[in-house]
Copies of this chain bind each other. A is one copy, B any other.
Amino acid sequence: MRVGVLGARGKVGSEVCTAVDAADDLALVAEVDQGDSIDTLVEAGAQVVVDFTHPDVVMDSLEFCIDHGIHAVVGTTGFDRNRLDILGDWLGKSPQTGVLIAPNFSIGAILMMRFAALAAPFYESVEIVELHHPNKADAPSGTARRTAELVAAARRDAGRGPVPDATSTGLDGARGAVVDGIHVHGLRIRGLVAHQEVLLGGVGETLTIRHDSLDRVSFTPGVLTGVRQIADNPGLTVGLEHFLDL
């Protein structure tokens, strides 16, 4: 598989280049960044591109790729309903081409969310703890919020009521933030990177699912999974979880 990278000199893109280069079954044929011509992709015979660039330029790049029948694996942010609809139209005219838009390429984070949702119907209690370095601006993290929504939906579907909680006295904030009825706690500790724990409990037992991301490169296996599967999945796919056989 011949792979091109858009945003090849960025922090993320350069890690992608390294990972593609190291994979036996993939060939890195084009490294494109600001100032380079996107035509390089065609000249180099790229079959798949990986795009970690900027919301301002990603749509133009994707139109070019789809026009030329090049599959795309996209980590750039900013895809709202409108943009996804436009992509759908373009892909309708190039039915063999696949585009994967993924907000999160960490396989561990995706597995954690999936397992939490699968387990949720079986447990009376569930809470989420996310732990990050203290320079993070938002609390709770986006992944923790998303996990809470998925867990809450799984509980609703299973007919489960609210989580038990007899707290009647205490300090503000002691029980965390509440997202869709699920308590979420955010810790900020120097030395940590990005970590999350989902705790589920029933009478006499608990189940804990924990994801530790210790290094930025942890997203590269997810990108490679996308690259390897996109040719077999024409059309628009949103979320890497659809390419994991869970």
Chain A residues in contact with chain B, CB under 8 A?
106-108, 111-112, 115, 118-119, 121-127, 129, 131, 134-140, 163-179, 183-193, 199-218, 220-221, 244-246
Contact = CB atoms under 8 A, between A and B. Distances in A.
A107 B122 contact: yes
B190 A217 contact: no
B185 A174 contact: yes
A166 B190 CA distance: 11
Give the copy number.
4
Contact of A170 (B138, B205, B210, B245): B138
Contacts of A193: 214
A173 B176 contact: yes
Nearest to A246: B118
Contacts of A107: 122, 202, 205
Given A134-B163, A201-B192, A214-B191, A207 B111 contact: yes
Name the prevailing secondary structure of the A interface residues.
mixed
16 contacts: A108-B205, A108-B206, A115-B115, A115-B119, A125-B191, A136-B166, A137-B169, A138-B169, A140-B171, A166-B188, A171-B177, A173-B177, A175-B186, A189-B206, A191-B203, A210-B210
B206 A208 contact: no
A170 B140 contact: yes
A130 B57 CA distance: 46
B127 A189 contact: yes
Contacts of A177: 170-174
Contacts of A122: 107-108, 111, 221, 244
A116 to B, nearest CB: 10
Contact of A187 (B123, B199, B216, B218): B199
B221 A165 contact: no
Contacts of A188: 125, 127, 163-167, 175, 183
